[in-house]
Structure 1
């Protein structure tokens, strides 16, 4: 479930003018919105790849220096969390 704080940060990111000031109502910084969506898509892709790697080659996870508990914690995060 998306938290209120996440919605607030998304709202602030897309309602900014290029100078960093709040944009007037109804104006959006489409570049910021695109960056947020791109970041979310990258997190989804990376976590899917991590899940695949953990199931197909868990020995590589250990060689990279991670535990399966760390992998499980990362996979449990929603896409909007770092």
Structure 2
């Protein structure tokens, strides 16, 4: 049985392409470089997710209801800057 997402975090987690991307750094890499790369990737993912959510809300608002979110929740998520979780 599948569970229904109850928050935008659940929806975002379900939409990620590869949730196992956070892997330990390989030998010889500095933590800072890997950490920065991971941070930029996370920011990019958030910006993309919020853009897609905005498109969905504009073009197919019935889908927002189908995934169990309210318009108010979607508007709050879209309004967040990419660096905020």
Q: Same fold (TM over 0.5)?
A: yes
TM-score (norm 2): 0.63
1:64 equivalent to 2:67? Answer yes
Report what 2:47 is aligned to: 44
| Structure 1: runs of 5+ lacking an equivalent | 1-17, 19-26
Q: 1:28 Cα shift?
A: 6.7
Structural RMSD (CA): 1.6
Tell me the matched-pair count.
57
Structure 1 runs (4+) deviating above 2 angstroms are: none
Report what 1:9 is aligned to: none
Greater Rg, structure 1 or structure 2?
1
1:54 equivalent to 2:60? Answer no
Cα separation, 1, equivalents of 2:45 and 2:66: 23
Greater relative contact order structure (CA < 8 Å, 6+ sep): 2
Cα separation, 2, equivalents of 1:64 and 1:28: 37
